[in-house]
Structure formats: C-alpha cells, structure tokens
Amino acid sequence: MPTVEFELKKLEERSKVDKERIIEIIENSKIEIEEIENEKIKLTIPPDRFDLMFLNGLANFISTFEYGEGMKKIYIDISDVKVFSESVSARKYFACFVVENVKMNEEVLREIISFQELLHHSVGRDREYVAIGIHDLDKIKGKITYKEAGRKERFIPLSYHNEMSLEEVLEISDKGRKYGKLILNFEKFPVICDEEGIISFPPILNSERTRLTEKTKRIFVDITGTKQKAVDDTLRLLMYFFSFYGNVKKVYLNNKEFPEIEEKRFLLELSKINKLIGKEFSLSEVKMYLEKMGYDVIAMNDKIEVIVPFYRLDVFNERDVIEDLAIAFGYNNFVPKISKTYSKGRISRRERIEKKIREILVGLGFLEIISPTFVNKKLMEKCLILEEWTKVKNPVSEEYTVLRKNLFPSIMNFLKNNIDKQYPQKIFEIGYAVEGLRERRKIAFAIASSETNLSELISYIKAFFKELKIEIKLEKKEIPFLIKGRSGIIKVENEKVGYFGEVHPQVLENFGIFVPVCYCEIEDKIYSKI
Amino acid sequence: MKVSREEKIVLDYLKERKEEYVENLKILGLSEGQIERVCQELLSKNLVELEVIEKKEYELSDEGKEYLEKGLPERIVLNLIFSGLTDIGSLSLKYEKAEIGIIWLKNKGLIRIVRGSIEVEKGAEKYLNEKFEEEILLEKLRKTISEEELSESEKAIVKNFLKRGIVKERKGKRRKIKISQFGLSESIEVEDEISALTPEILMKGEWKVKKLKEYELVDAGEIYAAKKHFYNRIIEEVREFLISLGFKEFKGKIIETNFWNCDVLFMPSFHPARDIHDIFYIETNKKIKVDEEIFKKVKEEHLKYWKEFDEDLSKKIILRSHNTAISARVLYLVSKGKVKIPLKMFAIDRVFRPDTIDAKHFIEFDQLEGIIIDEDLSFVSLLGYLKELVKLFGAKKVKFKPAYFPFTEPSVEIYAKMGNSYIEVGGAGIFREEVTRPFGIEVPVLAWGIGIGRLVMLKANVKDIRDLMSQDINFLKNK
C-alpha cells in the first residue's frame, strides 16, 4: 500500500482546517498515520482510496468532512482536440483527456510528476498495467493517433538531444532498459503520434518536443495499459487530480466524445441502512453524514438517493455508501451490543483428539515443542533424507525452503540446539507435515539420553497406545535414518500408522549429538480410531 | 584404584581427550550435581588435576541491545544520507544520535564534511547492501562471546565497542579438568562401595560390612515437570472461551488454492488490493479441483466489478495466507446445506506469509478467525462481539478504526488498550454481498481475524515472535 508524505502547513492551507482537527479526521478515516514529525505527516493510503493519495484530494476530503458542504463540483466540458486510436496488441487499452487554462508553476509541476510516479507504482504495477504520458498540448500539431510502429521509427525522447529509433531507446535509456521487458515480445511497439511524428513511446518515454514546462497552459494526458479497470481507474483519478489546476475537458476519440463518465446513483431505503448498521438514524442525519463524505444526497420520504463522485473508485454498491455513513458518524461513537444468535459451542474433532494425545505424552514425561513446518535441504541431508519434499517457489530465507514430510528433521534440529543442556531430554511435537500436495498431522516423540535404548522406546509406545485404547502390532523394518535391526513400524488392524527406532549414529554424528536418541512418529490415521 | 561408575566414565573420556572444560562433561549424560561430585572425588584421589582459567567474556550493554534492534548510528545516518538528508543540522533533528554516526562514518572514510554539509566518498554506496564489520559482530554478540572465540580483527572492533559503551566485559572463570600422570598409569576398577541400596544388599545384609557412600545435600540436579507448550496452553484457554460463547470450531486446509484464499474473498486478480499481503506458491504443476459451479459464480462477481479474472492464477496452489480461507470454505458448506445457520464459527490455525523475518514477523503464525451468520446481525453487533473478544487480551478498553479489506464492507480495525497504549489486534467487517452471493447467503455474515500470536506474546511475556517456536529447551521448561 502506498505511503505518502505531506507538509501539515499545506494541508491546513488547502483544507482551511486546523492541524489538530486534520489529524483527528484522518485518524477516524481509513488512512493510517505512520508518523508525524517536523511538521510533516506520513500516511499509508488504503488501496481503495487512491483519490486521497495527493495533497489536493486529501485536503478536499478533510474540508468537505469538516464543513459538510458537498464536494467541489467538477464540470467536464469538451475540447476540440481530435484523437484516433488503432488496435495496439502490446497495450490494448487507451484513454486520454485534456486540461485547459492550467495555472502552472514550479510547485504544480512537482505535484504532477510525483502523482504520476505514485500511480505508476500503485495502480500501474510499475507501468505494466498502466503508463501515463503528460504533454504540453500547445506543442502538439494536428490530430493525435495511438497506434503501432516499427522498431526503427525515430524520435527524440525526453531529456535527450538527438533522435533515436524505438529499438535504440530500449537499449540506451534507463527507462528503456527498465521497462523494455513489458513490450519486447511484441513485433511492433505502441506509440502516440501527432502530425509531426512520435510524441510518446509508452510505457517507456515521452518526447522531448512535447515536454511539460512551467509555461505550459494546456495539457494532454495519455493513458495506456494492459488492464481495462486499471486504465479506467487511472483516468478517473487523473481527471480528478487535474481538476484542481485547470479545466478538465473531453476529447473527440475516433469522432466520439471521450471519456463518457457515467454517473453512479443509488437509491437507499432508510430502514435497510438502519438495519445493517444497527442504529436508528433519521433521514436528515443520514443526509448530513453522507454529505460530509462527499456525496450529493437527495432525501425523500423514507428513501435517500445518493450520487457518487466519479473518482470514488471504491463505491460498487449501497454497502459501500453505508460504510461511509458509519465512518462519518464515527466508529467509536456506536454503542457495541452483541446479538442474540443461538449456537451451541463445540471443539473440532482434531483439536479434541490432539488435546488428549498431548495430555498422554505429558503424562509420560515428554516436554512439548513447536517447530516451523518449513525445513531445508541441508537439514534433510543431515537426516539422510534424500527424497524430494514439497517446496515453495518463493522462499524468503535459505533456512526455510521445504515443507517437512515428517517431523524427524525438526526434532533432530531441536536436539542439536540443546546438546549443552541437561540430559535426559524427552520431547514431543504435534504438527503439520506435507506429503506431496496433501497435508497431514503427525505426532513425534524422542528420548535423548545416555541410557536410552529400543526397549525403553517400545515401553513408551505401548503405554501411549494403551491409553488411547488402540491395539497395535510392532514389526521390524528398515528405516533410512534409524539403525537397522533396531527399528520397526507400528500397525493397527494391519495398516501402518507409524514407525520407531534408535537413530542411526551417522545422523547423530551429522548433528554433533553424543547421546543415543530414540524416535517414534505416528500418523493422523489413528485419529479415526480415537 | 577403585572408583565409582560415574568416575570411571569421566576417566575413560579424559584418557581419550586428555583435558576438557568441566561444564562440557554434560555430554556424557551426567547431571551438574553428578559432575561436581565426580570432579571432587577424582581430585581427592589425585587421578585428575583442575586448572582454573580466567577468561574474558563480552556481552551487549543496554545501549548495544538497542543498536542490535534499531541499527548502529552509522547505519541509520548512512541510510538517512542516501535518502537525501545531507545537512548535519537536519540529520540531528531527525535522529538524536546522528553525531555519533557521523563521526564513525567519517573515521571510516565513507563521508567528508564540507561546511556543515555531508558529502559521500566513493565506496560508501556499497554499504547500502553490505553490512559493516561492526554490524556482523553486533549480530554475533546477541549471545555472550568469550575472547577466544574472536578473530584478531574482531578483537579490535570489540575494543572499539568497549570505548563506545556498546559491550560490557566480564571476567569469568572456567575450570579445565586434566587427567594426571598418576591417573594415566593407575589401573582403575569400579569399586565396591555401596552408592545405592539394592534388594540384594538388604537381603544379604551386606550393608553391615560395607561402607555406605555419603551424599552432599547440594548434589541434587534440577528436574522439571513435563508440560504442554506454553503457546498451546494459552490457545486452549482461548478455545474454551470461544466455545463458552457458543462458537463451533472448524478446520480448513493449509495447502490451498488462490481461489479459496483470495478470489472467493473478492480480492481482484489485477489490482493493488490483491497485495494486502504476500503469498507462498507451492512448486508444482498440478491443479486442485474446485467446484465448477461456485467457480463460475465467483468469476461473474469479479468480472462485474473488476472487469477481469485470471483463471490460471485462481487455480494456483499456495499456502494459506489467512484463515478467512477457512471461513470461505464454511460458506461453501452452508451453501451445500452441510452446515446450518444461524452459525457462530471459529478457527485457530496456521497461516503462512513470505515476510521478512524479524522480531515481529515470522513466515508461519496462527490466526484466530471467526464468522457469525444470522438474520438480525448489524455493524453494531459486530462491534459488540469484537469488544467481547478483546477481553481475551485482558484489555478493558477497545478502539475501532475504519479499514480496507477487499472482502468486508463496512470494515474495521481493532485496537486493544494494553497498559497505556493501544495495540492493533486484528481486523473485522461484514462480508461483502459479492462474497456471500455466490453461496446464496442473503443474511449478514460478520467476520473477524485476530493475530493470536500477539495475544500469546503478551500473556507469556515473550518479546520476539520467533520465541513462540523456541529451540531452547530451558526456555520451554521455564515457561
């Protein structure tokens, strides 16, 4: 989620609300305050409210909330700019608009560029979903076309002095090397041209010719991308953003007015609102609170019609409006009250069984441990386990790459970490294990002591199953990391439910453990018998 | 000469090794008490010699511990410089120990100071990705280190650390036990002295003629009760509390699909809202089957609002990243008539997230999840349940804050008052209609997720989340 930093003084200036109240309003909104320091406020913006990600948007929210006068009205006229778009396979979606009578200065220029970057990173997923080009419209000649171009076509990219082919831009410029991968697989590249040539090579660079300056009076904004919703969201956010600096206007795109921004309206019933919230609001209260949140509200009889500002990307249906009502009222002003819902409590079968098993093992003198489900290749090798276990594609550390199929590596690792502690050590663990794509619960217990041996282990196994009232048979069997002839399997009704034995001295040596260790592991198959 | 059985074990070991630190004799399976007794006996028989070695040990001071957690001043200052802060005045405003950091960076030749402003020397940049030697050593000093474990260059740094008050020196004594010449040449037998009474001795009356060995009262080694892990003991209490409130416990799957973990919960395929947390992907080409009918309905909801839906992504196999995936599966059971409503459900189970590992984050942890499905539920009743749940933390006061989760609307973050400050304990909300509609559920579903690990850490007084899976047997015995 994006973090942004604003000067509190500027927020005060633009919202006409004082600092203490600004902080209070933000605290009771979805925005999270990370830090207030040196008169600057650092915020995390939730992914559904990117309209609060820039200074004017946030200030507008705060002043509307405080003064409840309804959002600044935005009228969108039409300009005479003509744009044509052809089909472009590398970036299918295209949108654009213009801004006239721009009140430009150094500060505005800085705000434009920083919001553009924020959008590239957030909605744009680093320009893959969306890339934005912002141009001085007065430097564009004639009609504008979005189309495909050959790799050899040339233009002067932003901040360069000489012409380059599109191919060269990808090789030579920083941005080309960084974002070239997004279009390299396509034979032809996306470009935006005017009558004199290329003005933009999305998602890489604009042209030097149409560079934005402090003298710019009219702006042309192009948005290209691979995801329809992302392009549409960006369009709305940018139109809102630029409405604070000039007159945002539509264009003629393929001879039709563009963009067509449909108005979202919802008709809400007061009784339904009050039922979902659980409090009796009056019609005028609902109207007042929703106006604080920037909606246009018409109240009639027992119904409320709301008109949603076009830049509120998060309002899908009535429920989103109701949340805003609750936010405006203040979550902490409600009187919490639990429902009368009748339901009988019950522990899950698995937890009931594992609780019992835990109690038996504690009764037998074992201390419970908990280890991560993740292990690693090195640990497995020390355990003489050479088979492949389930891995994750994106581990965060070499120590945790593989999901354990049994608990043996976890138990041995624990014993290794405690060789300087008092013996005997008797430990057990109940935890997840993964066999292929199937998850299992496994129970393991181990004894590390200079005195321990197979017959002691068998006594414990027998006592364990006796407590569970399960009849078992033990059978000799060779297990890779246990000593041959001192290991075996446990069977219940002729089905294998576990194995046991003395740990192989090679394993002990690998871990630097100098006392014998006995190990037993039992599968969750026995749960069906408990 | 005659010796006891334990004495023989130690002597045999020393014949091999010649010498050993006394505390290391534990690996022979002897308790501390036994070791003391054996050493005294062997010494009195001139079979061994004891040497007391003075050694220096180093451990972190409180300041050092603070640096270990927050970073050395030179690291913090270097990062600030690279973030664009180069004026000494503003550095000091931003960070109180800036001056210390600046001095050390200057001594290292990484920066120079020109008229109150800092300029970076060549070669400083590599330390953005590389640790200083000091940082590596600081990490090592997490546990006490003795002088002999240090390399020459590390010794120099420790000297520096001493000056800076980052480490404290402690003089300790260690005892080394050596076999004596006499011990090597003397033939040893296990003696006849009665150390333990046996039925045989009692029957034959041998105790009347032989010597009964004397015990020192301090000889007893420590023993501990076997017990359940402190984590599970607290979770059991939480479970009982929820059952007493009428909640039924459910289980889901840790090997999940994106479909149940994300898509059913209306997390869009291509939108920043998908990234509320990261997800572990299982290395496999296999697919797990999902109910096609539900799949279609969920896809429709996505297309309606998010315009796109990535089927391939949806079917990918992952590790469950939150227990809301269990709630999603419970909604499915409700739609199939296998679970009846009204329902109060909870789950406490493991989730996985590829986070950077530190004192507050680990890649595996448990979450407490719950949903309530009933006719007359409202946002106010959600707040009511949350207030009740926060009692688990022993908190008297609770605060709510608006929040964003793709699957709930309204959404709320829960803060519990612990001591003098509020800590975030979880998130909650009413499931969106886009989440419940595919399952044909038309009544409100209240949902919440609570970081149960944090609760356990508070209750058990554990500061580092990794200690919830502690590898130290003594730590577990004492908890």
ipTM of the complex: 0.93
A258, A282, A311 - which closes a domain: A258
> pLDDT for B313-370, tens place per residue?
999 999 999 999 999 999 999 999 999 999 999 999 999 999 889 999 999 999 999 9
* CB < 8 Å from B in window 211-250 of A: 227-230, 232
Q: What are phi and psi of B109, to 5 degrees?
A: 75, 25
Which chain A residues are closer than 8 Å to B305 by Cβ? 316
* Chain A interface mutation, best of B255, B286, B353, B413, highest count of A Cβ atoms under 10 Å: B255
Confirm whether A72 is domain-assigned.
no
Give the single-character DSSP code of A387. Answer: S
Contact A437 B354 (CB under 8 A): no
Weakest-pLDDT range from A463-477, B33-47, B216-230: B216-230
CATH classification of the domain holding A300: 3.30.56.10
H-helix or E-strand spanning residue A277 = helix A270-277
Same structural domain, A93 and A230: yes
pTM: 0.79
CA dihedral sign of residues A446, A451, A457, A462: negative
Tell me, yes or no, if A398 comes closer than 8 A to chain B by beta carbon: no
Same structural domain, A397 and A455: yes
Among B242, B281, B288, the residue with its CB nearest the CB of A392 is B281
Of A470, A236, A322, A400, the residue nearest B353 (C-alpha): A400
Same structural domain, A329 and A358: no
Same structural domain, A296 and A384: no
Same structural domain, A193 and A94: yes
Please report, rounded to a whole number, the percentage of residues in chain A having pLDDT higher than 90.
Answer: 95
Are the CB atoms for A31 and A52 separated by under 8 Å?
Answer: yes
Contact A434 B255 (CB under 8 A): yes
Domain positions in chain B are 1-72+132-223, 233-474
Which chain A residues are closer than 8 Å to B270 by Cβ? 125, 129, 227, 229-230
Among A125, A396, A420, the residue with its CB nearest the CB of B26 is A420
Confirm whether A173 is domain-assigned.
yes
Same structural domain, A489 and A364: yes
Which chain A residues are closer than 8 Å to B221 by Cβ? 422
Which chain B residues are closer than 8 Å to A30 by Cβ? 401-404, 411
Q: At what angle do helices B32-44 and B5-17 cross, to 10 degrees?
A: 80
Instruction: Determine the distance in angstroms separating the CA of B245 from the nearest CA of chain A, rounded to an integer.
Output: 7
The two most distant CA atoms of chain B are separated, in Å, by 97
Among A369, A439, A450, the residue with its CB nearest the CB of B229 is A369
* CB < 8 Å from B in window 328-367 of A: 331-332, 334-348, 350-351, 355, 358-359, 361-367
> Can you say how many angstroms the Cα of residue B75 is from the centroid of all Cα atoms in its chain?
25
In the predicted model, is pLDDT for residue B221 greater than 70? no
B233-474 topology per CATH: BirA Bifunctional Protein; domain 2 (3.30.930)
More confident of the two residues A210 and B34 = A210
* Chain B interface mutation, best of A341, A355, A399, A514, highest count of B Cβ atoms under 10 Å: A341
In the predicted model, is pLDDT for residue A481 greater than 80? yes
| Terminal alpha carbon distance of chain B | 45
Same structural domain, A188 and A300: no
Among B268, B363, B403, the residue with its CB nearest the CB of A374 is B363
> pLDDT for A400-410, tens place per residue?
999 999 999 99
Of B330, B356, B329, B335, the residue nearest B255 (C-alpha): B329
DSSP state letters, B212-273: BPP--GGGPPP-------HHHHHHHHHHHHHHHTTPEE----SEEEHIIIIITTT--TTSGG
Same structural domain, A393 and A296: no
Average pLDDT over residues B7-28: 86
Please report, rounded to a whole number, the percentage of residues in chain B having pLDDT higher than 90.
Answer: 45
Q: Give the pLDDT confidence score for residue A70 in this predicted structure.
A: 54
A305, A333, A361 - which closes a domain: A333
In the predicted model, is pLDDT for residue B143 greater than 60? yes
* Chain B interface mutation, best of A313, A343, A413, A440, highest count of B Cβ atoms under 10 Å: A343
Which chain B residues are closer than 8 Å to A374 by Cβ? 363-364
Tell me, yes or no, if A60 comes closer than 8 A to chain B by beta carbon: no
* CB < 8 Å from B in window 434-493 of A: 434, 437-439, 449-451
> pLDDT for B298-328, tens place per residue?
999 999 999 999 999 999 999 999 999 999 9
Which chain B residues are closer than 8 Å to A515 by Cβ? 27, 29
Same structural domain, A101 and A249: yes
Q: Please state the domain count of chain A.
A: 4
Same structural domain, A199 and A326: no
Same structural domain, A390 and A510: yes
> pLDDT for B263-272, tens place per residue?
999 999 988 7
A219, A236, A258 - which closes a domain: A258
CATH classification of the domain holding A401: 3.30.930.10
Same structural domain, A364 and A513: yes
Q: Give B219's pLDDT tier (boundaries 50, 70, 90).
A: low
Domain range for residue A38? 3-67
H-helix or E-strand spanning residue B113 = strand B111-114
* The total number of residues written for chain A in this structure: 530
CATH classification of the domain holding A193: 3.50.40.10
